[in-house]
Amino acid sequence: MAGFPTADRMLAVCDMLADSGGHLDPEAVAAAAAEQLARLTRCDLAVTALRGPDGLVVGSYPRAAPDWLPGAMVNLYQDGLTQPFDLFGPAVDSRVAGFDGGSHHGVVAAIGPIEGGFSALDDWLVMVAARRMQAQLELVELHRWRLADADVVRDAVLAGEVQQALMAEPHHRIGSVDLSASFRPARHLGGDLYDVFSVDRQAVALVADVSGKGAPAALLSTAVHAAGRHAFSVAGPNPARIIAQISAEIETLLEHTGRIVTVAVAATDPNTGTIRIASAGHSPVIVRQAGHVRLIKPLSPPLGLCSPDEDEIELSVHRGDLLLLGSDGLIDQRRHDGTAYGVDHLLSAVRELPVAPAHELLRSLFGNLDAFAAGAVQDDDQTGLLISVQEDRR
């Protein structure tokens, strides 16, 4: 009986349905679909044509389609004309089905003559061929996205290495203090930065945090970094003047990018046994004096709103005292249950630190933070710069 599927045809259909494809490009998808359609319908010529980001892609089996045909098929389908004889005329028996979705749209055609004429099964096979092409093209697109994504990640990793190299040396002994710093971005690149300068046995430490995350914040942080170095060369070991100078230099940039920057600068003086601190909206700044810890709140708001007042505070420090300039990523780190580390936790951790070189103390602080996080995702950049007073003033 014409159109009744034979057992071997049904088996061939089952094989087609079980085949998952695994093609890596639209050309392979189109070619495989045409061959499968031709074999299953036993039509004279199967043609698949699709249009997408790569332009017009064509498959045909068992021979090449006439040059004009695939483009005409897609154009007619786009115009809503899907009756086969629109393309081939009434003398040619054929079945056509199309698809439109995602980044591709296309048409498949089984062109006769065909022994016994096209049956209901053939109608179904043509429709299924179109749907399967659509699904396989989505997979090809997904595969391309994954490759592009891998490129982006590789770029970010390399950029992150450059950012670490841009930071100052992490460990210093200057005058009567020991300094150690660490920058841990959340995603390869970040908006935190630290810097260390010195003149006449006086150390100047700077920590800054650009709002936002990732590459945009990192790019802006390089401008802040350069402004900080210039500010030190102009203003010397004077924290409030350094911040005012930075503010003037990056004011327009912040206006254009809609971002803010928090900055804290500390200058140590072994002759007076003091540390002067200025902060524009920056926290946490934590001092430990004679075993007592407190948070030093900023005297001015972040840069990006208005020019900062040139205010500083001056602390007397002795051997064993500590100053931590951190970024808010230290406080905001959450553990799995959603609880944040918080200011109080950080204050306790600083209070409990022994008298030791700065790099050991900083490692201990980060260890405490990581133990709290217990593997939870680091959502923000984390920076710490620790100043450990090693000697009383002479």
Exactly one of 105, 184, 188, 213 binds other proteins (CB under 8 A); which one?
213
Q: Which two tokens stand for residue 37?
A: 């359609």
Binding to other proteins (CB under 8 A) within 311-340 occurs at: 328, 331-332
CA-based nearest residue to 97, from 79, 84, 115, 116? 84
Residue 262 touching other proteins (CB under 8 A): yes
Is residue 152 within 8 A of residue 189, CB to CB? The reply is: no
Binding part of the chain for other proteins, among 47-55, 209-217, 266-274, 350-358 by CB under 8 A, reads 209-217
Alpha carbon distance 323, 344 (integer Å): 16
Is residue 358 within 8 A of residue 289, CB to CB? The reply is: no
Across 186-289, the runs of DSSP E, i.e. the strands, are 192-199, 202-210, 261-269, 274-280, 285-289
Binding part of the chain for other proteins, among 21-29, 42-50, 297-305, 354-362 by CB under 8 A, reads 297-305
Q: Which two tokens stand for residue 278?
A: 């200025």
Q: Which is nearer to other proteins, 182 or 279 (CB)?
A: 279
Q: Return the sign of the alpha-carbon dihedral for residues 291, 297, 303, 306.
A: negative
Exactly one of 122, 380, 384, 386 binds other proteins (CB under 8 A); which one?
380
Binding part of the chain for other proteins, among 58-66, 146-154, 177-185, 210-218 by CB under 8 A, reads 210-218
The alpha carbon of 149 is separated from its chain's Cα centroid by a whole number of angstroms, namely 10
Exactly one of 26, 98, 298, 326 binds other proteins (CB under 8 A); which one?
298
Q: Which is nearer to other proteins, 267 or 296 (CB)?
A: 296
Is residue 195 within 8 A of residue 228, CB to CB? The reply is: yes
Closest distance of CB 183 from other proteins, Å: 16
Residue 119 touching other proteins (CB under 8 A): no
Q: Is 368 helix (H, G, I), strand (E, B) or coil?
A: helix
Residue 184 touching other proteins (CB under 8 A): no
Closest distance of CB 211 from other proteins, Å: 4
Q: Which is nearer to other proteins, 268 or 279 (CB)?
A: 279
Residue 357 touching other proteins (CB under 8 A): no
User: Could you give the C-alpha distances from 192 to 96, 109, 306, in angstroms and in order?
Assistant: 60, 59, 21
Contact positions toward other proteins, by CB under 8 A? 209-213, 258-260, 262, 280-284, 297-302, 304-305, 328, 331-332, 343, 380
